[in-house]
A and B are shown apart, each in its own frame.
Chain A
Amino acid sequence: MIGFLRCAVFGLGALAVLFWLVRIYARSLRREALEKHWARESAAGVDLGPCDAYVEAGMQDYEHGLMRRLVWLVFILPIVIFAVVVFVMNYR
């Protein structure tokens, strides 16, 4: 039982680090895309308001969107794989 707990603690710890890194990365990608979009539209003569406000509004949408929630797959996929491996190894 201690073995399982140790496995769970280390595994979840590693996943938490990866999750945190991927979340920052995904957010950074979104922000960069918004900045680039603003620059492109401005160059084409479309008025989207000030860059900072446009990017902040876009980030607000992102924080409540589906893409941000998909980052949780970093936790879900390995745990599902773990369960499948335990099942296949011992019950098949």
Chain B
Amino acid sequence: MRYVKWAFWTVIVLVVGGFLHYTLPQHDIVRVVGTYQERQDLTDWTRIFWSTPDDQSGTLTNRDVQFIQAIRANGKPMVYRNEDTGWRWPPYFKFDTATLQTQADDLRSTAEAPKWAVVTHYGWRNQFLSIFPNAVGIRPVAGPDVRIIPWVNIVILGGLLVLILLIRAMWRQFRERTIEPLIDEAADKWDELGDRAEAMDGKARGFWARLVGRGRK
């Protein structure tokens, strides 16, 4: 039973943690080396890793997607997709894909004369599934080792914690002030009913005894 409990909580932590890791913004310090646009087929299950920028794109089997190619500060390559999130999940409300692509093009540089930039993105890169993180913002920075404090994540995770504590407090208040009095009342009723049943039982026995003519005289 203990293993079932552990397995249950492990799965919960993995799912919630994975969801947050995918959805919350992250920052990469990169050097943009190029941008391209490629037609993507969107008919298998990996569709969930691509955006639905508007309502008609929900029914398309393929469409063009813009990409930003970059080299990270540690020298490893990274490719971002650049798609509108629209009014859908995740709630970045991004509509400036074309602007972002222009900014990325403007920051393009070579290894010899690098221009460093911070790309804000969400999502995962996976070569086997051919999925890409979605870039949501880009801005130039002084060098490859600037320190970035993730204020947005701090605020969101803090807010989430406050929400969870609020719901817990609400539930406790509800239990203390509404459910427990009801249970007490029900228990009182039950006792009362038990007493009455006993009294009835005693009466019935007396009646039976009188009828048969045995018992107390």
* A residues with CB within 8 A of B: 2-4, 6-7, 21-22, 25, 28-29, 31-32, 82, 85-86, 89-90
Contacts and interface: CB of A to CB of B under 8 A. Distances in A.
A2 B137 CA distance: 25
B54 A3 contact: yes
Contacts of B96: 89-90
Residue among B55, B92, B93 with the highest chain A CB neighbour number at 10 A: B93
Contact of A89 (B88, B136, B173): B136
B88 A85 contact: no
B166 to A, nearest CB: 8
Interface secondary structure of B, over-half rule? loop
Contacts, number: 42
B86 interface: yes
Interface of B: 54-55, 86-88, 91-96, 99, 136-137, 166, 169-170, 173-174, 177
Contact of B173 (A4, A25, A82, A90): A25
B94 A89 contact: yes
A25 B169 contact: yes
Contact of B87 (A7, A25, A28): A7
Contact of A86 (B93, B166, B173): B93
Contact of A3 (B86, B94, B137): B86
B93 A21 contact: no
22 contacts: A2-B55, A3-B86, A3-B87, A4-B87, A6-B87, A25-B169, A25-B170, A28-B174, A28-B177, A31-B177, A32-B173, A32-B177, A82-B91, A85-B91, A85-B93, A86-B93, A89-B93, A89-B94, A89-B136, A89-B137, A90-B95, A90-B99
A11 to B, nearest CB: 9
Contacts of B170: 21-22, 25
